[in-house]
Amino acid sequence: NAGVTQTPKFQVLKTGQSMTLQCAQDMNHNSMYWYRQDPGMGLRLIYYSASEGTTDKGEVPNGYNVSRLNKREFSLRLESAAPSQTSVYFCASSEVAFTGGGGYTFGSGTRLTVV
Amino acid sequence: GQQLNQSPQSMFIQEGEDVSMNCTSSSIFNTWLWYKQEPGEGPVLLIALYKAGELTSNGRLTAQFGITRKDSFLNISASIPSDVGIYFCAGQTSGTYKYIFGTGTRLKVLA
């Protein structure tokens, strides 16, 4: 099925461990995003990639790095996980739109727990 | 930074009742979106609004783009158990593809 695929779905890390969250979309979208979702705080933008070859910081980039590997794939890396990074992470994609817009297509999320 | 206030935060309603929720911003938006998130899934787009005053329906859902461009409203008529979930608003300003998300309204429907 067309859409955004995230892996893994669940992960438990020990403090200080590193890991990479993978995201791939098959809709030929130009822009991709990483959000984290915490209780009572809605969705907060971590990093985004407006187009292949570019990445920019969002609201809460500290402790994360990203790679736009190609047009389809956008990965999020935690170099040294901290308990404050326990969250649900969502990848999303969209067509580039500076006016109007069609919204995002979201993946089903990665639930990360850092102990 | 920009903030979106979404209310109510949560609500319990009886099946068959109508539901209203809203989202207000400190900034003017050119686009308002409404999403629904079910447990264990990512948000799914319900309705998109592109013009002040616009009223758009999607089945039992109706959303409006406020005249001031700083607010939006979502109504669900004759709620059913599968309406359970978290409803998010999101706004987009001109010249950016970044959306600001509200904190969500958690809806629970009592059969």
Quick: pLDDT tens for A36-94: 999 877 889 999 998 899 999 998 999 999 999 999 999 999 999 999 999 999 999 98
Residue B97 and residue A58: Cβ atoms within 8 Å?
no
A contact test, residue of B33, B41, B88, B99 with most A CBs within 10 A: B99
Question: In the predicted model, is pLDDT for residue B96 greater than 90?
Answer: no
Residue B42 and residue A41: Cβ atoms within 8 Å?
no
User: Under 8 Å CB-to-CB from A39, ≥6 apart: which residues?
Assistant: none
Reported as a pLDDT band with limits 50, 70 and 90, residue A33 is very high
Output the pLDDT for position B40. Answer: 87
Using beta carbons and an 8 Å cutoff, which residues of B are at the interface with A?
A: 1, 4, 6, 9, 30-31, 33, 35, 40-45, 48, 50, 88, 90, 92, 94-99, 101-104
Residue B96 and residue A98: Cβ atoms within 8 Å?
yes
User: Under 8 Å CB-to-CB from A1, ≥6 apart: which residues?
Assistant: none
Output the pLDDT for position B1. Answer: 54
Between A66 and B98, where is the model more confident?
A: A66
Mean pLDDT across A23-46: 91
Question: In the predicted model, is pLDDT for residue B91 greater than 50?
Answer: yes
Average pLDDT, chain A: 91
The pair of structure tokens assigned to B11 is 């609500």
Between B62 and B50, where is the model more confident?
A: B62
CA B95 to chain A, closest CA, distance in angstroms equals 5
* pLDDT tens digits, B23-60: 999 889 989 999 999 988 999 999 999 999 999 999 99
Q: Based on C-alpha coordinates, what's the Rg of chain B?
A: 13
Residue B94 and residue A58: Cβ atoms within 8 Å?
no
Q: Are A79 and A32 in contact (CB under 8 A)?
A: no
Residue A98 and residue B94: Cβ atoms within 8 Å?
yes
Output the pLDDT for position A95. Answer: 82
Question: Which of chain A's residues have a Cβ under 8 Å away from the Cβ of B98?
Answer: 45, 48, 58
Q: Are B35 and B47 in contact (CB under 8 A)?
A: no
Question: In the predicted model, is pLDDT for residue B84 greater than 70?
Answer: yes
The pair of structure tokens assigned to A115 is 């102990």
What DSSP assignment string belongs to chain A?
--SEEEE-SEEEE-TT--EEEEEEE-S--SEEEEEEEETTTEEEEEEEESSTT--EE-S--TTEEEEE-SSSBEEEEESS--GGG-EEEEEEEE---SSS----EE---EEEEE-
Output the pLDDT for position B4. Answer: 86
Output the pLDDT for position A96. Answer: 65
Q: Which residue in chain A has the smallest CA separation from B91?
A: A103
Q: Are A46 and A36 in contact (CB under 8 A)?
A: yes
